[in-house]
Every structure is written in C-alpha cells, then in structure tokens.
Structure 1
Amino acid sequence: MISNQPQVINLSPRSLNIHEINVLTKGLSFIPKPKFHKFDWIKDVNLFTRKIALHKFHSLQMEKTAKRYDLAPSDMECLNTLIALLEENGDDTGNTGYTNLRPKSTFTPHIGEYSNIETFCTLVCQEIEKLDEHSVNASVPHNITKIELQALKNLGDDKEIVIKKADKGGNIVVLSIEQYRKMVLTILEDSTTYSVLTCNPTMRFSSELMSILTDARGSGVITDKEYDFMKPISPMLATFYALPKIHKKIQPSPGRPIVSGCMNLTQNSSIYIEKILQTLVCQLPSYVRDSKQMLNFLSNCNISNDTLLCSLDVESLYSCIPHDLGLKHVKYYLDTRGEAHSKHTEFVLQLLQFVLTHNFFIFDRTFYRQVTGTAMGTAMAHPMHICIWDGGNNLLLMART
C-alpha cells in the first residue's frame, strides 16, 4: 500500500530524532489537540447566532418585498437571482459596476428582535460558562504523544533551522537558517527582477492608489462598493519566502519565490483585475479550465498510436514577463469589448500597471520591489499570463514587433 505521508528531507547539519521525524511526517498542516477556552466557544456561539439572525433578517425583508409586489416566494427567489446576475455582469455603460465586489459586511441585526434566537444564544453561553476548562481538556484524548509534543516544541524553539514544504511532491524539507537565507538571497539578488528599497513605501504607495481609485469613482468607472473594496485600510506588509526545489536534484537546492500578500496594499485591486480578466480568459479558444476538461477533450480526439503528446514549460513564468508586454496583451483583449468600455479599459490598465509596479515586500528586515513579472500568489497573475500566452508563437512574434 502506498503511504500518503510526506517524506522528511533533512538538508541541515542538525540531526533529527525519530520522534521529530514522526511529528514532521504528519504534515505542516497538522494541529495538536487545541485547548478548550470558554471565551473562544462563547465567541463562536455569538458568531453563529449572527449568521442565523442575518438569515432571518434577509428572509423577512424578502417576504416584505414579495407582499409589496404581490409575488410568490418562488417568484421572489427568481427575481433575486436575476438581480444578482445583473449586478455581476453590469451593462454596456458599466453603470451597475463590472463586478459584484464589495467590502465584507459588518452589519449585525438586533438579536433582541428575534426572541428565539436570543434565547438560544443565552442558554448555550450559560451552559458553556458552567463547564470546567480543566475537566473538558482532560476528557478529550490527545492526537499526539507527550514525547512527540515535546519534539514539536523542540523543533519550534530551534531558531537555527527552517522547515518548509518542498516545491513539488509534498515532502517536508529541513534547512539550516543560513542555507535558507542563502537560497532566498540568491533569488533576491537578481537585479533584473528585484530592487532594494531604502524604506517602507506603504504610505506613499497607498496615496497613489487612492488617487487612482478616487478618479475612477468620480468618473463613474467603478461603483462606490468597488471603491470601498479596493480602498486600502491599514494594509499589511507582504512577506517573501521560498520553497526548495529538491526535485531539481541540484545542490544547493534552488528556491521558488513566493510573495505572501494577504491583506497587503494591492490584494483587493488584484482580485478586481482577476474578475475582469477571467470573463475574457474563459472565452479564449485555447483556455482549459482544469485537468478534467482536458481529459474530456482528449477522450473525443482520434489519437493514433504514433502521436506524441507534448507540453511546454515556461521557466520562471511569474517573474520573466516584462510589465509592458503584459499590459500590451491585456489591452488587446480588453479592447475586444468595444468602444463602450474604453473608459473602463483605461482604468483597468492603469490599475494593472500600479499592481505590477508596486509589488513590494519585506525579507530579513529589508524592503524589496519586483521590477518585472508578477508575484506568484497574486490573484490577477494567472489570467494575465493566459492572455499573454494565448496564441503561442503568434503572440511571441507580436511581442517582437
């Protein structure tokens, strides 16, 4: 039987004992049994209660609207579906917005208006308060032995090693801090792809983004909700890390660059661009949604025994494409929407240029900016690259003209 457990590949000078290896083979997503805390449970109950109250609130609003227009509940559901589709697709002038993106709602109905929901929340929280935390923790069996728990602690406390998932294969790689730092700096010292910044540019870049968004909202290109979605509010710094490419069989192992941009300055702008481009990408003749679609396509092809199936791999795809090339081909596909969308096309290209040229991050207390390509992990990277490579050699020839 084939084991699904990952292998542990130790490239560091530190020796791993059997218990440390056993812990690592559980995978980097493994979580030891969490401790019971009353506060966390009561918080979760209140969050669940909010969901129920929101569902009740919107159901009542739907009933009121249905009565006002003398509609059956089923007709009201169909109407809401049509409205949602209209909001998602917009119209030729873009008055309803090109996306349905909006900030996450913080609205909470007054629970007191729904006595049964309020009673449920109160009674459950009272029962949680009666529980003894020590007894509850003792009653739930551990999913890890005490020796393995200590081994996990020892690995976490060791500041001389870095533990990463391998780039491919799902294995776990252990490197010394110097090995990992050297692997990352080998990537970042490529001056054709990255440049060093002298300070944190978040405030300056935020001001530039706000100017772009404010102009777009003022001219009616984006809606207030889209503006609020992309507007930077206390953006976090993106961080840089690398996954060791041990499958390359090269020593020392090269790394795959990853920018972790969760809640960073351009995250939501990138999501907006991805939404716009994805509608175009799905219409391209060369677009393949996933492996299942590819298999269905091949099953309908008459392939002879002497046919060779080939695939192409682009080395360093996310960092090798010049920004002007990306903008050129994205503009080509945006222009296919027609003159009615010209203002929106201009805005998307301006926003895309900002996202491409303001991809900055921190590593080892130093700020960097990526000067070519896109960050691996940003939402708009995938559809943008499909736009660029669609047509294969024809697009490559266009890039040389």
Structure 2
Amino acid sequence: MLGEPCPGIFQVRLVPVDEWRGSKTRLSEKFSKLEFQHFQQTRIFLPRFCPGSPLENLSSKVFTPKELSILSKGSLAQTYVNISEIITSVESGIFSSHGEVENPDLLRGEIVKSILDYKPSLSLTSQSKEEIKILQKLKKDKNTVITRADKGNTVVIMDSADYQNKINSLLLDKNTYKEIKTDPTDKYTKQLRKELEILKDSRLITPQMYRKFYPEGCSAPKFYGLPKIHKKDTPLRPIVACYSSPATGVGKFLATIFKYLLTTQKSYIKNSIDLFEKLKNHSITEKTILSSFDAISMYTACDVHKCEQALQRKLEENSTWADYKTLEIDTIMTLVRLCNKFSLYFRFRENFFLQVKGLPVGTVLSPFLANFYMDFIEQSSLNSFPLKRVWF
C-alpha cells in the first residue's frame, strides 16, 4: 500500500494578511492574462522572456563594456567541433543497429567528408571573430564561472570560489549524497547488460528492445548547479546531466509509455491555455482562494518505493498505454527499478558521488514517477480538505 505521503516534502509558511492579499492580487493578474493568450490563434514563439537584465554579474571581477555587451547576448558560442565525440557516436549507432545500416563504410565516409569540409571561419565576420576571441579569453579565466540562470535566459557570472562553496553545501548533505572513490560506470554497465540479457532470454523483452536498451559508450552523469537569481543569497539548483549514463536507453523508452498516463491525472495541465479552458466556466469571486504549492527538493524527498507503487497502480487502472501491451506490467516495473538502480550516481569534476535517497536527479524517468506520486499526495490531501473546491 502507498500509505501516508512523505513527511517534510511540503513546507507550510504563515504570512501576514497584507502579504497574502498582495500575493492573491498577483495571481489574479496572472489569471486575467490567460484570457488574452487564449484568443491568440497564431503565436510567434520567441526565446523565453526573462524580465530585467540579460546579464547578472555576481562576481567580484570588473568587466569591460565590450565584454559585458558580448556576454549579454546569451549563451557562450561553441567555437570548435568535437570530432572524437562525433566519431564515437557514429560507431555506437552502427553497432547498435546490428546490421540494419546497409552500408556502414559509406556512412562513415560521408560523415568524415562532412567534418573535413566544415569551415566555420568562412562564415565569420571580423566582428564575430573578435567576439569569439574575447569569449575564449573569458572562458580560460579560472576565477569566474559563467553560466545561465535557473529560470529565463539570463547569463550569470559568479566567482569560482562562491560557486564551489555553494556546490559543496549541496554535496556535503550526508543524508542525500555519499562520496565514493571510483567511477562505477563500467560496473553498472556490465550489471545492466546482464539483467537485460536475462529479460531477453526469458522473452520478456524483444530482441529489438534489447538492442535499444543495450548500454555502450557510457560515462558518469555530470553534476552542476544553476543559480537561482530570483531568490535570496542566490542558491544553486542541483542539475545532473544523465544523457550518457548506462540506463538512458531504458529510461527514454519507458518515458514514451508513461507520457500517455499523465493526461489521466485530475490535476494535469498542459499549459496556460489549458488552465484557462478548465477555469473559464467557474465562478471566481473575491472569496475564492487561488493557491499553488511547491515541493521542497522533490526528487530527493520522494520515497522511491512509493513512487514505484503509484506508477504500478496507474498502469493497472489505465489502458492509455495499450500500444505497449507487448510488455507485461511486471516487466515494465522491472525496467523501472533497473533504471533507478543504475542512475543514482554522478560526477562533479574529478569526484564521484552516490545519491543515497530519493529519485535519481536528472533522469528522463524521474519526472514521471514524481508526477504520479504527487498525484497520490494531492488526491489524498484534497479528499480530507474541509473547504469546498471550485476546481482541481
């Protein structure tokens, strides 16, 4: 049984009446804007708007106006082509195809020709060449870290020491992370291959699935932080890039199944237009309370076992994943557990860490598991709530 929701995943804060009224006014203004968006039949999608300056210098370094102008344009330009990564990816793809590529040597030749023919300097103006030189110089400065903000497109500059201290404050949480001496990627890759082979030999997954899930060319997920410039003291949001971890292939496949289950949740909202559609026929009065809640460190606070139970219940109650009936629910749950088991680690610079509790941060699967578990918490909480609900 799922039992009680995880304690401590939400934080309740009492606020003064004036602050509450101000918050309610802001939420009402947001809702009124949805009506305008609803009637926009043709929309031009621009880069995400970020109010305020496109550049936030939190470091102690003083930059020239030219440097600030270049940095304010957005993300750092990539000035080189990583040929080794391209070749590795091509060979990995050819190997995974197991003979489905008709002429692999021809493919290799065409890719090599494209790499050799690539001449980025021919399309660069003298001004852009100068900007690239300045960016390269800034990138070599070990005393500063140039990154993007957690929300929006703002470029953020921090002192390296400040960035490192804030990363340390996250990683020194012994209840969540544990430093290990060696990289477990090779060990995890071999173990996952063995588990997948057992599933294939037992005919629980098809040979095609086995090839799709088969991990190769793997590396440890990379840990970094994005500054929350909208919050006091600019804390970092921990990010783990898992695109090359052993269980990535399994996770991507499972995500194609689970995305159909999201729409079965009562609180599912596709976007702001969808929210307006669901609220437009309800009466919103002065006495109506529009509220929202935020989970604290949701992934690491979630109980993995309860998340898996919530998922299994969803699979048993819904048939929206009928196209994937070639897999039994027990097999899907086995794949989910393998994905979680071999994704709870990462690398920060030269050090390796295990995540000792919660869902793996950064995997494609964790948002779905957290969603299904949060749905359970929402429904359990609302069913015991004394006030009348206008909509949920």
Q: TM-score, normalized by length of structure 2?
A: 0.69
Alignment partner of 2:173 out of 156, 168, 190: 190
Superposed CA deviations along residues 104-130 of structure 1, whole A, max 9, x for unmatched, are: 996246999xxxxxxxx9xxx9xx98x
| Alignment match, 2:267 | 286
| Alignment match, 2:305 | 324
Q: How does 1:48-197 map to 2 (within 5 A)?
A: 107-108=101-102, 140=123, 142=125, 144=127, 147-197=130-180
Alignment partner of 1:377 out of 351, 354, 362: 362
Question: Percent identity of the aligned residues?
Answer: 24
* 1:201–1:332 CA distance, 2 compared to 1 (3 A): same
Query: Aligned pair 1:25/2:72, yes or no?
Result: yes
- Structure 2: runs of 5+ lacking an equivalent: 1-48, 91-95, 384-392
| Alignment match, 1:208 | 191
Greater RCO structure (CA 8 Å; 6+ sep): 2
- CA distance in 2: counterparts of 1:391 and 1:313, whole angstroms: 15
| Paired residue secondary structure (1:392) | helix
| Alignment match, 1:269 | 250
| Alignment match, 2:93 | none
Specify the code of the residue in structure 2 equivalent to 1:148: E
Stretch deviating more after TM superposition (177-186 or 327-336): 327-336
| Paired residue secondary structure (2:153) | coil
Specify the code of the residue in structure 1 equivalent to 2:206: T
Superposed CA deviations along residues 212-257 of structure 1, whole A, max 9, x for unmatched, are: 212222222221111111111121221110001121122xx21101
Specify the code of the residue in structure 1 equivalent to 2:374: W
- Structure 1: runs of 5+ lacking an equivalent: 48-101, 113-120
| Alignment match, 2:21 | none
Q: CA deviation at 1:393?
A: 4.4
| Alignment match, 1:360 | 345
Is 1:389–1:395's contact at 8 Å kept on the other side of the alignment? no
Specify the code of the residue in structure 1 equivalent to 2:334: Q
- CA distance in 2: counterparts of 1:3 and 1:389, whole angstroms: 29
Q: CA deviation at 1:305?
A: 4.2
Is 1:323–1:353's contact at 8 Å kept on the other side of the alignment? no
Q: CA deviation at 1:352?
A: 2.0
Is 1:335–1:342's contact at 8 Å kept on the other side of the alignment? no
Stretch deviating more after TM superposition (374-383 or 187-196): 374-383
| Alignment match, 1:221 | 204
* 1:110–1:254 CA distance, 2 compared to 1 (3 A): closer
Is 1:5–1:25's contact at 8 Å kept on the other side of the alignment? no
Specify the code of the residue in structure 2 equivalent to 1:175: M
Query: Aligned pair 1:234/2:217, yes or no?
Result: yes
* 1:272–1:295 CA distance, 2 compared to 1 (3 A): same
Q: CA deviation at 1:6?
A: 4.9
Q: CA deviation at 1:279?
A: 2.5
Q: TM-score, normalized by length of structure 1?
A: 0.67
Q: CA deviation at 1:187?
A: 0.9
* 1:390–1:302 CA distance, 2 compared to 1 (3 A): same
| Alignment match, 1:246 | 229
Query: Aligned pair 1:390/2:375, yes or no?
Result: yes
Q: CA deviation at 1:346?
A: 2.3
Specify the code of the residue in structure 1 equivalent to 2:101: F
Superposed CA deviations along residues 252-272 of structure 1, whole A, max 9, x for unmatched, are: x21101111122211111112
Superposed CA deviations along residues 152-189 of structure 1, whole A, max 9, x for unmatched, are: 22201212211111112321111122211111111111
- CA distance in 2: counterparts of 1:293 and 1:146, whole angstroms: 45
| Paired residue secondary structure (2:328) | helix
Is 2:310–2:376's contact at 8 Å kept on the other side of the alignment? no
Count of paired positions: 312
- CA distance in 2: counterparts of 1:243 and 1:343, whole angstroms: 38
| Alignment match, 1:336 | 317
More helix by share: 1
Specify the code of the residue in structure 2 equivalent to 1:162: V
* 1:343–1:269 CA distance, 2 compared to 1 (3 A): closer
| Alignment match, 1:313 | 294
| Alignment match, 2:386 | none
- CA distance in 1: counterparts of 2:241 and 2:126, whole angstroms: 30
| Paired residue secondary structure (1:385) | helix
